[in-house]
Amino acid sequence: MKTINIYLLRHGKTSGLPALYGRTDVAVATDIQVAICNGVQALQLGVETIVTSPLQRCRVAADLLHQTLDIPLTVIDDFQEMHFGDVDGVPFDELTEQWSTLEQFWTQPAQVTLPNAESLGEFHVRITQAWKALCRHAEQDTLVVCHGGTIRMILASILGMDWQNPSLYSVLSIDNQSLTHITLTDKQYFRVRSIGRPISAIDTI
């Protein structure tokens, strides 16, 4: 039996004001990106390939790791965060008129779609399909640099969780600069080894 390690790395804390950052291409400070790169290297995970969302908060860290570890890098557009439409990237302090809609979205994310946004159902399909495709083609231990929402949807798929449940997004903590470790055996058997653990605390055994 062949077992592949897949590590889901959430990007570092973004530089923007508090907001819903989906497709908005907000940056992460350079020192944080370098710290992430150094932290992953120190873990000696043994990954042989890197996959990343195209957004710079993920892509910059992935590029640094690609250069320092000298392993292949693939950009997969479908691993981007959910698109939050008209409120995407707009600071919460500027959303007074949309606040009631935001509250409805947070309490019923599967039933409420923000203006001109991707629906939660569309996001679920996109991430689930991208994850299944990654697993079908995976042959080596892989690091995936992506987003909190992306990781939650992947976990929902693996664990058979209800992706429509708002607790998946409000209660399950996937912190910035953390790793979620999944093993895949014979392309069909999953095991979740850890969820959202800070890089410095990851057990690589």
In the chain, the domains with their CATH numbers are 3-201 (3.40.50.1240)
pLDDT the model gives residue 135: 98
3-class secondary structure, 19: coil
For 94-130, write each residue's pLDDT tens digit: 998 899 999 999 999 999 999 999 999 999 999 999 9
Mean pLDDT of the chain: 95
**Length of the chain, in residues:** 205
Residue 22 pairs in a beta bridge with none
pTM of the model: 0.96
Where residue 123 falls (left for φ over 0; alpha for ψ -120 to 50; beta otherwise) is: alpha
User: Which pLDDT tens digit goes with each residue over 184-203?
Assistant: 999 999 999 999 999 975 54
How many Å apart are CA 139 and CA 21, to the nearest integer? 32
